[in-house]
C-alpha cells in the first residue's frame, strides 16, 4: 500500500485533492485483493479506480491545455499509456480473477506508477500551471 503524505503535495489544491482520492481508492483495492474480498467487490473497486483515473487525467489535461503547458503532448502520452495498462489489467482480472500474480502486478505497476508520476511529471506540471496563475 502507498500512503499519502505531504511529500506528494504538488501545491495545486485540485490536483492534490484528486491524488489523495486516487491513493485512497488504490489502497481500498489492495485491501480488497489481499483480504480475499469477493470477486464482485474487487471488480467494483477496480471499475471505480479506473473511472476516477480517467476523470483525473482529463482534469489534468484540461489544466495543461488551458495554461499552455509545453510538455502537454508527452504528459498526455504517459496518461494514455497508463490507461492502456489499466485496461489490460482489468481484462486480466476479468479473465483470471484475483490471483497472487495479479495482486503483485497491481501493487507493483499501479502503485509505483502513481507514486513516480506524481513525484516527477505532476510536480513539474503543477509548478508550471501555478506559475501561470491557472487554477
HEC profile of 53-109:
HHHHHHHHHHHHHHHCCCCHHHHHHHHHHHHHHHHHHHHHHHHHCCCHHHHHHHHHH
Q: Which residues contact 33 (CB under 8 A, 6 or more apart)?
A: 42, 98, 102, 103, 106
The rounded percent of the chain whose pLDDT value lies above 70 is: 98
End-to-end Cα, the chain, rounded Å? 30
CA distance 98 to 94: 9
Average pLDDT rounded to a whole number, residues 93-111: 89
Q: Is residue 3 part of a domain?
A: no
pLDDT tops 80 at residue 134: no
Cβ contacts of 50 within 8 Å, gap of 6 or more: 86, 87, 90
Let me know if residue 91 belongs to a domain.
yes
Q: What angle do CA 107, 123, 31 make, to 5 degrees?
A: 20
pLDDT at residue 1 is higher than 80: no
Residue 17 in domain: no
CATH value at residue 65: 1.20.120.50
> Is 53 contained in some domain?
yes
Q: Among candidates 87, 84, 82, 89, which has minimal Cα distance to 105?
A: 89
Question: What domain range includes position 32?
Answer: 23-131
- Model-level pTM? 0.90
| Confidence class for position 14, pLDDT limits 50, 70, 90 | very high
Task: Note whether residue 80 is domain-resident.
Answer: yes
Q: How many C-beta atoms lie closer than 10 Å to residue 83's C-beta?
A: 14
User: Is the pLDDT score of 108 beyond 90?
Assistant: no
Cell numbers for 31, please give them: 485491501
Give how many domains the chain has, as a whole number.
Answer: 1
Amino acid at each position: 500500500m502507498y500512503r499519502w503524505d505531504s511529500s506528494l503535495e504538488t501545491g495545486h489544491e485540485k490536483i492534490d485533492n484528486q491524488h489523495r482520492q486516487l491513493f485512497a481508492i488504490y489502497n481500498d483495492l489492495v485491501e480488497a485483493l489481499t483480504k480475499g474480498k469477493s470477486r464482485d467487490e474487487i471488480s467494483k473497486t477496480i471499475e471505480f479506480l479506473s473511472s476516477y483515473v480517467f476523470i483525473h487525467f482529463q482534469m489534468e489535461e484540461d489544466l495543461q491545455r488551458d495554461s499552455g503547458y509545453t510538455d502537454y503532448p508527452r504528459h498526455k502520452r504517459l496518461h494514455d499509456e497508463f490507461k492502456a495498462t489499466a485496461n489490460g489489467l482489468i481484462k486480466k482480472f476479468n479473465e483470471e480473477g484475483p490471483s497472487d500474480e495479479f495482486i503483485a502486478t497491481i501493487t507493483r505497476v499501479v502503485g509505483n506508477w502513481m507514486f513516480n508520476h506524481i513525484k516527477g511529471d505532476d510536480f513539474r506540471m503543477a509548478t508550471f500551471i501555478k506559475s501561470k496563475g491557472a487554477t
